[in-house]
Amino acid sequence: MDKKMEAHAVSVFYGQTQALYDISLTIPARHVTALIGPSGCGKSTFLRCLNRMNDVVEDCVVRGSILLDGQNIYAPSVDTVMLRARVGMVFQKPNPFPKSIFDNVAYGPRIHGMAKTKADLEEIVVESLKRAGLWQEVKDRLHTEGTSLSGGQQQRLCIARSIAISPEVILMDEPCSALDPIATAKIEELIDDLKANYTIIIVTHSMQQAARVSQTTAFFHMGKMIEVGPTDVLFTNPKNERTQGYITGRFG
């Protein structure tokens, strides 16, 4: 199995407080990796390290190294703009731009100069909306505001937006936490389809969701990574007792 990303001894500090301790984790390519753990254990923090969104958080210091295809993304020569074009992100709360559906999806291709002509751009937008499973619902109203969609549609729009720039890795921070079971099922299906082409890392609070969509699961607790392994093994036969406690619902 290829390694897409590798974290080596990553520690993160918010000012004086340390949020992550020596995390080392390998993310396999074209694979869904789930990050689980109780609230405040540092899952989002770790996710933000992978596309350097922590750079914009005040007083946040990241130590250690993270490799993307063998290259350290924290090397001084790395441009965060380029990095984020390769590592996309979907947030917990849907956050479409207050622009049309079309412009939401077209934004990334536009700023990265991915489309030479208008037709190219339209093709990218349509293709992304189709892959995000939203095309059927919005094809007649591409020029209405993205914010006028329902929550689940907005989240799929955000996914369409992030896959429009053909990232290699997609980070998802609890993408279904604001959605109902039907919308959640749609997004899970989507994740399943996407893993053929993309490497996906998803933070989730739902064990069932982790079990359904991921192949690898990492369990975080109080800023440390306690256990990582194939999802079926981790859920049926956890080695660490804290993992066992968490997945059986005894704490967290």
Partner 1 sequence: MIDHKNRSFRRRHWRDRVFRRVAVGCVGFALLALLTLLSSLIAQGWGAFVSYSVEIQAQDIPPNLPSSDRAAVVAIITSFLQTPVTSKQDVIRLFGADAGSQLVAWLKQPQGPLRLRLSDDADMVLKHSYQDSPLKPEQRKILNDLRDLGVVRQHFNITFFTSGDSREPELVGIYSALVGSLLTLATAFVMAFPIGVMTAIYLTEYAKPSAWRTWVEININNLAAVPSIVFGLLGLSLFIQFLGWPRSTPLVGGAVLALIILPTLVIATTAALKSVPTSIRMAALAMGASKTQMVFHHVVPYSIPGIMTGSILSMAHILGETAPLLLIGMVAFIVDVPGGITEAATTLPVQIFLWSESPERAFAEKTAGAILVLLVFLLIMNAVAIVLRHRHQKTWS
Ligand X SMILES: Nc1ncnc2c1ncn2[C@@H]1O[C@H](COP(=O)(O)OP(=O)(O)OP(=O)(O)O)[C@@H](O)[C@H]1O
**Site residues (vs partner 1, CB under 8 A):** 51, 53, 56, 58, 81-85, 88-89, 91, 93-98, 107-108, 111-112, 145, 147-148, 154, 158, 161-162, 165
Least distance CB 239 / ligand X (angstroms): 21
Q: Does 104 bind Mg ion (CB under 5 A)?
A: no
Beta strand 224-230 pairing with 216-221: antiparallel
Site pattern 40..79 for Mg ion (x: CB under 5 A)? ----x-----------------------------------
**Which bin fits 249, alpha (ψ -120 to 50), beta or left (φ > 0)?**
left
Give me the least distance between CB of 36 and ligand X, in Å please.
Answer: 9
Q: Which residues pair with 8 in a beta bridge?
A: 65
Question: Are the CB atoms for 129 and 164 separated by under 8 Å?
Answer: no
The residue sitting closest to Mg ion, measured at its beta carbon, is 44
At its nearest, how many Å lie between ligand X and the CB of residue 192?
Answer: 23
Q: Least distance from C-beta 173 to ligand X, angstroms?
A: 7
- Asked if 54 is part of the footprint of ligand X (rule: CB under 6 A), the reply reads no
**What are the backbone angles phi and psi of residue 220, rounded to the nearest 5°?**
-105, 145
Distance, in Å, from the CA atom of 82 to the CA atom of 239, rounded to the nearest integer, reads 39
- Name every residue whose Cβ is closer than 8 Å to that of residue 208 and which is 6 or more positions away in sequence: none
Expressed in angstroms, the distance from the first to the final Cα of the chain is 32
Q: Which residues sit at the interface with Mg ion, rule CB under 5 A?
A: 44
Q: Which residues sit at the interface with ligand X, rule CB under 6 A?
A: 14, 19, 37, 39-45, 57
